[in-house]
Amino acid sequence: MHCGKRLQGIGGRVTKHDRSKTAQPRPASIAAVAHRAGVSIATVSRVMNGIENKASSETASRVMAAVESLGYRPQSVGRALRQRESRIVGVLAANLGNPAMAAAAASIELALRDAGFVMALCDTHEDAGIQDEYLAEMEAQLARGIVLLVAVPSPKLDALRAAGRPLIFVNRRDPGAEDSTFVGIDDHAAGRAVAEHWLAKGETGPFGLLHASLAFSAGRHRAAGYLGRLAEAGIDEGSIAHATGPGRHHLEIGYIGMARLLEATPRPRRILCLSDLIAYGVYRCLVERGVSVPGEIELFGFDDNPLNAWIAPWLSAVRIPYEIFGTAVVASLAALIDEGRATTALLNHELVIRGGSPRGPARDVMSQASRIILETKSPGA
Amino acid sequence: MHCGKRLQGIGGRVTKHDRSKTAQPRPASIAAVAHRAGVSIATVSRVMNGIENKASSETASRVMAAVESLGYRPQSVGRALRQRESRIVGVLAANLGNPAMAAAAASIELALRDAGFVMALCDTHEDAGIQDEYLAEMEAQLARGIVLLVAVPSPKLDALRAAGRPLIFVNRRDPGAEDSTFVGIDDHAAGRAVAEHWLAKGETGPFGLLHASLAFSAGRHRAAGYLGRLAEAGIDEGSIAHATGPGRHHLEIGYIGMARLLEATPRPRRILCLSDLIAYGVYRCLVERGVSVPGEIELFGFDDNPLNAWIAPWLSAVRIPYEIFGTAVVASLAALIDEGRATTALLNHELVIRGGSPRGPARDVMSQASRIILETKSPGA
DNA sequence: AGCATTAGGGAAATCGTTTTCCTTCGCAAT
DNA sequence: ATTGCGAAGGAAAACGATTTCCCTAATGCT
């Protein structure tokens, strides 16, 4: 359909090379260390955990020497069992194929590792069933916390929220509660800023909007900000063509939605796409029809994933600072675990404007005066 | 440098909303289930694990009813501790920002989940230190196996290999052993196929090659196949301009490498890039200089990640079937764990040819007669 | 009848940690 | 001289599962 002709079907060849199955020698346990150091396992544990006043420095160094010589590393499962809490933090991403989410995941992973956690990353495909499966699994793993990189409503999610487990919602707010911990941008202000940008350039439209489901916070707020600002400028909401596509696949939503939008009269010339992937779908649709971008139709995306700068010089976008999401998530997690405080972190977005002439340099033009609204409490209300 | 002008620095605002810290009610344990069902915990365990001949059907249904009513789900840590093996499979990816790796990770995750495993995904940034850190952590987690989605040599890797732990190398072969389990394509044949494609079209060059480090199997084999076929056609290896860039970031390698290649005489007109990301870097370099792609310079990439079809109509590529990597990885893992057999799975690659005229449709043109060589045992030797 | 086998199920050991009690010792304050 | 206290460290109890021994009936086979 949308993939090129292939030269041959899938398949392949598997060759097998035998290999002796050696019995696994057990790795050194805390008992082995204790024995070699001539102390009890309690002391080893205390030294390993840096507990003061429980071991003389002489004993401690003896223990450390034993640890060193045996290459001992505590098994996480033993500790997790005893403490009823592991160092795993589950990160449930809606779609790893989206470079923006991959960027967020990479950032979160880095920050978690710095903080001594271990990330377990999953792909929920934005499906409630799979999300529930993973939520249950994270519970079974005694995960310290769960990060939902775009959540959908699901029964298990409700259960965990009710049980007070540490949940962190990223990009899309908790679909089931107002005051859950959130890390993201001010979507309403960002949507506004795009409209503001076009208005400041003297554009009069026709404007368009392409989006996935508006049932969730991010999309709803972005759309509301965009449409609200246009309305303030006297542009009737009815005159703004908007479309979506079927399903959850943003690429196809953009492709199919754009095809519909092309039939609208008047045909929109400035279109906001609520994600980069939607804009990609739009791009393919327009390229196939010979419509020049941004010559005839100018696009604005959301996310500005790191690849845009390299291969999408035709796409301006609201840049979400995924590279700092990690530290924000970890900080929020700490507040939630240590103090039981749910926080809302609104990170600053930016507008990245690209000229996109196909033959000229991929120059990025600075937009004037796009206000970043920081004070929003309940965006999009 | 390569990112657009920004309208404001990063930063943001954090608001905090208090929330009562409720004491966590413990989830139901196996003891609770046993008590409610009026049996011993041993029986519950046996029922849960479907062990035959150890519980009457009447008892079993009583247990299941108790499980149901308590919402019991076994904690993984307890089981892992006892069995000295968890259901976690570590997947160490070199760079999640690469959509091809994200695609591979997504596929592997799906297959692992089907097989009852849990994926823990990490980003090693292709750094030996970070890789070692994660390898050690996976050991501590009693991971059932470790998948290295592009590995680098590291001490801990040697240690695990020597200890006979289940390691699976994907895309890049084990840098420290010949006969480790491998899942990937026949890189040598793929490199050959690109040369073959161009030769079959009557191209005479000048040809070029852009690559990251050639110290590892994949790149080395691809380059050898490509250059080998060109040499067979009488094209001197010395006449083939090739370049690389500093570091490990393929985007920048492509960008900087292409800048160097532009100074070569004669300037190459057909360039093979050993990854899509390198091709992206090349593209940006050429767009900035006003060189048309594929008009003046034709590019061939490796991977053909799923986004190419949407936004890179100018890029032909060797398509690696990442969507089936998952099943191959799981099959290899099973062979390794259950039978101690190390296997080599060479999956079929394909050539995806794109026309890429910027204004025309993004049509995919079928190439004629690109042989896929299946019999290779030691490619590139 | 005598014996082996199997189904059914419980008690307890086990995995590798952390943590709670203890005990002992030395020293300072009363 | 007695008490109190902190440092140092050991013994043993958790944690939640699986698994190894057991034991008792019942059944099949000679």
Of A14, A306, A331, the CB nearest to B345: A14
Statement: residue A8 has pLDDT above 70: no
Residues A176 and A102 placed together within one structural domain of the fold: yes
Q: If you ran DSSP here, which 8-state letter would residue B134 be given?
A: H
* Cβ pair B20:A119 closer than 8 A: no
Closest Cα in chain A, distance from residue B59 (Å): 25
Contact A258, A191 (CB under 8 A): no
Residues B41 and B102 placed together within one structural domain of the fold: no
Strand partners of residue B343: A16
The pLDDT assigned to B239 comes to 81
Statement: residue A377 has pLDDT above 60: no
Model confidence pLDDT, tens digit, residues A95-136: 999 999 999 999 999 999 999 999 999 999 999 999 999 999
- Strands of the A342-347 sheet, one edge to the other: A118-123, A88-93, A145-149, A167-170, A181-185, A342-347, B12-17
Report CA dihedral (A108, A113, A115, A117) to the nearest 10 degrees: 100
Statement: residue A9 has pLDDT above 70: no
Domain assignment present for residue B20? The answer is: no
Please give the tally of structural domains in chain A: 3
Sequence-distant (≥ 6) Cβ neighbours of residue B14 within 8 angstroms:
A328, A331, A343, A344, A345, A346
Sequence-distant (≥ 6) Cβ neighbours of residue B263 within 8 angstroms:
none
Residues A243 and A139 placed together within one structural domain of the fold: no
Task: Tell me the average pLDDT across B63-85.
Answer: 96
Residues A203 and A286 placed together within one structural domain of the fold: yes
The pLDDT assigned to A155 comes to 97
The pLDDT assigned to A7 comes to 47
Residues A105 and A159 placed together within one structural domain of the fold: yes
Model confidence pLDDT, tens digit, residues A263-311: 878 889 999 999 999 999 999 999 998 898 888 999 999 999 999 999 9
Residue of A nearest to B116 (CA): A137
What confidence category does residue B9 fall into, taking pLDDT thresholds of 50, 70 and 90? very low
CATH number for the domain spanning B112: value is: 3.40.50.2300
- In Å, what is the CA distance from B332 to each residue of A14, A19, A356, B109, B182? 9, 13, 46, 14, 8
* Cβ pair B88:A365 closer than 8 A: no
Closest Cα in chain B, distance from residue A136 (Å): 8
Give phi and psi for B63, each to the nearest 5.
Answer: -65, -45
Domain termination site, one of B74, B108, B138: B74
Residue of A nearest to B366 (CA): A5
Six-digit token string for A196: 């503001």
The pLDDT assigned to A177 comes to 93
Statement: residue A371 has pLDDT above 50: no
The pLDDT assigned to B19 comes to 57
Rounded distance between C-alpha atoms, residue B93 and residue B324, angstroms = 17
Q: If you ran DSSP here, which 8-state letter would residue B248 be given?
A: S
Rounded distance between C-alpha atoms, residue A329 and residue A325, angstroms = 6
Residues B54 and B180 placed together within one structural domain of the fold: no
Domain assignment present for residue B1? The answer is: no
Model confidence pLDDT, tens digit, residues B285-307: 999 888 988 889 999 999 999 99
The pLDDT assigned to A351 comes to 93
Q: Which nucleotide is closest to the Cα of B82 by its C1'?
A: C15
**Strand D and A195 CB separated by under 7 Å:** no
What confidence category does residue A15 fall into, taking pLDDT thresholds of 50, 70 and 90? confident
Report CA dihedral (B144, B147, B148, B153) to the nearest 10 degrees: 30
Domain assignment present for residue B315? The answer is: yes
Residues B354 and B214 placed together within one structural domain of the fold: yes
Domain assignment present for residue A330? The answer is: no
Instruction: Kindly list the residues from chain B whose CB atom is less than 8 angstroms away from the CB atom of residue A141.
Output: 76-77, 88, 118
Rounded distance between C-alpha atoms, residue B188 and residue B380, angstroms = 5
**Strand C and A75 CB separated by under 7 Å:** yes
Contact B257, A286 (CB under 8 A): no
Q: If you ran DSSP here, which 8-state letter would residue A178 be given?
A: S
Rounded, the Å distance between the CA of A249 and C1' of C23 is 67
The pLDDT assigned to B55 comes to 87
Question: B58 lies in which domain range?
Answer: 30-74
Domain termination site, one of A126, A151, A185: A185
Give phi and psi for A270, each to the nearest 5.
Answer: -130, 115
- In Å, what is the CA distance from A98 to each residue of A53, A281, A338, B147? 51, 13, 32, 22
Rounded distance between C-alpha atoms, residue B272 and residue A73, angstroms = 45
C-alpha radius of gyration, chain A, whole number: 26
Rounded distance between C-alpha atoms, residue A99 and residue A203, angstroms = 31
Domain assignment present for residue A134? The answer is: yes
C-alpha radius of gyration, chain B, whole number: 26
Rounded, the Å distance between the CA of A26 and C1' of D6 is 39
Rounded, the Å distance between the CA of A67 and C1' of C24 is 27
CA pseudo-torsion sign B79, B83, B84, B89: negative
- In Å, what is the CA distance from A281 to each residue of A248, A255, A276? 13, 4, 9
Statement: residue A172 has pLDDT above 90: yes
Model confidence pLDDT, tens digit, residues B203-229: 787 999 999 999 999 999 999 999 999
Residue type, A61: S
Residues B202 and B305 placed together within one structural domain of the fold: yes
Domain assignment present for residue B65? The answer is: yes
Rounded, the Å distance between the CA of A32 and C1' of D12 is 18
Closest Cα in chain A, distance from residue B238 (Å): 30
Count of other CB atoms within 10 angstroms of residue A6: 16
Helix (H, G, I), strand (E, B) or coil at B345: strand
Average pLDDT, chain B: 87
Domain assignment present for residue A231? The answer is: yes
What confidence category does residue A18 fall into, taking pLDDT thresholds of 50, 70 and 90? low
* Cβ pair A352:B5 closer than 8 A: yes
Of A8, A123, A350, the CB nearest to B6: A350
Residue type, A60: A
Residues B160 and B243 placed together within one structural domain of the fold: no
The pLDDT assigned to A175 comes to 96
Model confidence pLDDT, tens digit, residues B156-167: 999 999 999 999
What confidence category does residue A356 fall into, taking pLDDT thresholds of 50, 70 and 90? low
Residues A37 and A104 placed together within one structural domain of the fold: no
Task: Tell me the average pLDDT across B242-251.
Answer: 83
DSSP calls for A100-157: HHHHHHHHHHHHHHHTT-EEEEEE-TT-HHHHHHHHHHHHHTT-SEEEEES----HHH
Q: Which of residues 82-121 of B touch strand D (CB under 7 A)?
A: 82-83
Model confidence pLDDT, tens digit, residues B47-67: 999 998 888 899 999 999 999
Statement: residue A357 has pLDDT above 70: no
Q: Does the N-terminal peptide bond of residue A268 adopt cis geometry, omega within 30 degrees of 0?
A: no
Model confidence pLDDT, tens digit, residues B108-152: 999 999 999 999 999 999 999 999 999 999 999 999 999 999 999
Instruction: Kindly list the residues from chain B whose CB atom is less than 8 angstroms away from the CB atom of residue A169.
Output: none
Residues B151 and B93 placed together within one structural domain of the fold: yes
Residues B220 and B267 placed together within one structural domain of the fold: yes
Model confidence pLDDT, tens digit, residues A312-333: 999 999 999 999 999 999 999 9
CATH number for the domain spanning A50: value is: 1.10.260.40
Domain assignment present for residue A337? The answer is: no
Average pLDDT, chain A: 87
Rounded, the Å distance between the CA of B37 and C1' of C5 is 29
The pLDDT assigned to A241 comes to 77
The pLDDT assigned to B26 comes to 84
